[in-house]
Structure 1
């Protein structure tokens, strides 16, 4: 009997686990759904029943945001900066992880430890030196590159930590066969390593893109006027139209939807990439 009971519980799952998972999902998605639905309501509806559903559904708030040229300017800036950051992170991260994984040289592990220690230092720690370096020394203040380069630099440690196991897992026989066929180390890197590292590159690319899209502090210090990103636009809109609660909900929802949809669409690839890193 005990064996049958155990098998039944194994098939059905533990109710406590489902309850905890449901609570976590509710806490995580609750504010998102509340904001999205709030954009379909009027300020009077929100004031009367804050936790109610739209009745009737109002499209004017979202239409006002979509027809706002500032929103599209902010979205364009966020997209360009995120794409630049992602490209730099993927290319330089793979090139940095390759010798740390495939070459054997003195101080290799200690050099890798430098990247690991880089995970302990967020961008906020060096925000003032970064501001001085970017604006005064590099003259990249209020530019896309001025934000993308520091963001990529702080994303490189995680990129190297994820990509190195992928490259170490490649069989040595594969490299030996390529060298026998006349391929150089550079040719082996571009023709074999890069295609086989696709899952890892997708993983670090998605993480870099979403991290750049949601960045706030660094763009706040470096960007002004028409160069602002969507998170800054949300803050400005919330301050300027603080009395228009429904409009703020609509603006915030549309600002977070691109990154959310992108992340959800690529989540399987992210999981596969992280699994490959752990196996490696």
Structure 2
């Protein structure tokens, strides 16, 4: 047998398998049911098609959209996007959304991690009731409580103020954060905490030196979910914010659509630029979200 033949033979067999037969990993994987793939592709198309239509529509003129709504731009028009990018209104609303998103995310992560640490690592009365209270918070979305929430915000003088958006978002973001982080913190072995105590590390030192680094996958997950949820929030800013100088991008899209209702192409360009940051952010950190949620389930 030649050397080439021997090499090709050795590459197709599993040495650890009895008789030199192929191992399970070397066997060709079977395709699943074609119907499953068809349904999956159908759902993907339903999700992606509207986004592509909005993005591509921004590169067209109103006459092109009226004449051939489903056709590609011919020629491609970049002025719609350039005019939006030159607008100070767009960048002001972008800055407002960024401030609200970052502040809400920091508040949700910091407070949620502290609460989760207490629930996961301390034994006290009503511990189960506290955890159940946060779990019950998942069943009450912000839309249900929007009227009493507006009254509370009005009474404390935060109407038409970005803090009137940030504080409620932190409160309504805590249940999801606690539910995800508690399993991470419970999974930290007690031996690590005992070793830190022997070395003279306080509970607070154990929290910052060990808990925070070990729970980083969960922290990143809840941070991403909080930021995306804040960026896309529309109902709360609609009730709280009155002046356009304080508008976030979701409200800006609505106001822009009303102002330029006859210029469909420009509205599509503004809409696509408004949703682009959240799409990019989610695409970049998608694996971290899945990994963090998987870790929570295993914990």
Number of the residue aligned with 2:11: none
Alignment match of 2:291 (pick from 259, 272, 275)? 272
Number of the residue aligned with 1:200: 218
Deviations 1:153-201 (A, max 9, x none): 0010000000000000000101110111101111101111011111101
Name the SS of the counterpart of 2:145 in structure 1.
helix
Number of aligned residues: 273
Number of the residue aligned with 2:6: none
Q: Which runs of 5+ in 1 are unaligned?
A: 1-6
Following the alignment from structure 1 to structure 2, what is the Cα–Cα distance between the partners of residues 156 and 106? Answer: 21
Following the alignment from structure 1 to structure 2, what is the Cα–Cα distance between the partners of residues 131 and 28? Answer: 33
Greater share of helix? 1
Deviations 1:56-101 (A, max 9, x none): 1000110111011100001000000000000000000000001111
Number of the residue aligned with 2:203: 185
Alignment match of 2:167 (pick from 131, 139, 149)? 149
Q: CA deviation at 1:135?
A: 2.1
Number of the residue aligned with 2:58: 39
Q: Which runs of 4+ in 1 moved over 4 A?
A: 7-10
Number of the residue aligned with 2:128: 109
Number of the residue aligned with 1:221: 239
Alignment match of 2:249 (pick from 206, 209, 230)? 230
Number of the residue aligned with 1:161: 179
Q: CA deviation at 1:8?
A: 8.7
Name the SS of the counterpart of 1:12 in structure 2.
coil
Number of the residue aligned with 1:172: 190
Number of the residue aligned with 1:127: 146
Number of the residue aligned with 1:59: 78
Number of the residue aligned with 1:3: none
Following the alignment from structure 2 to structure 1, what is the Cα–Cα distance between the partners of residues 53 and 101? Answer: 27
Following the alignment from structure 1 to structure 2, what is the Cα–Cα distance between the partners of residues 193 and 142? Answer: 38
Q: CA deviation at 1:17?
A: 1.6
Alignment match of 1:251 (pick from 270, 276, 284)? 270
Number of the residue aligned with 2:42: 23
Q: Which runs of 5+ in 2 are unaligned?
A: 1-25
Deviations 1:193-219 (A, max 9, x none): 011111101100010000000001111
Following the alignment from structure 2 to structure 1, what is the Cα–Cα distance between the partners of residues 259 and 44? Answer: 32
Deviations 1:219-240 (A, max 9, x none): 1111122000000000011111
Number of the residue aligned with 2:18: none
Indicate the structure (1 or 2) with the bigger Cα radius of gyration: 2
Following the alignment from structure 2 to structure 1, what is the Cα–Cα distance between the partners of residues 287 and 219? Answer: 13
Q: CA deviation at 1:12?
A: 2.4
Q: CA deviation at 1:9?
A: 9.0
Following the alignment from structure 2 to structure 1, what is the Cα–Cα distance between the partners of residues 195 and 293? Answer: 28
Which moved further from structure 2: 103-112 or 197-206?
103-112
Alignment match of 1:94 (pick from 113, 120, 137)? 113
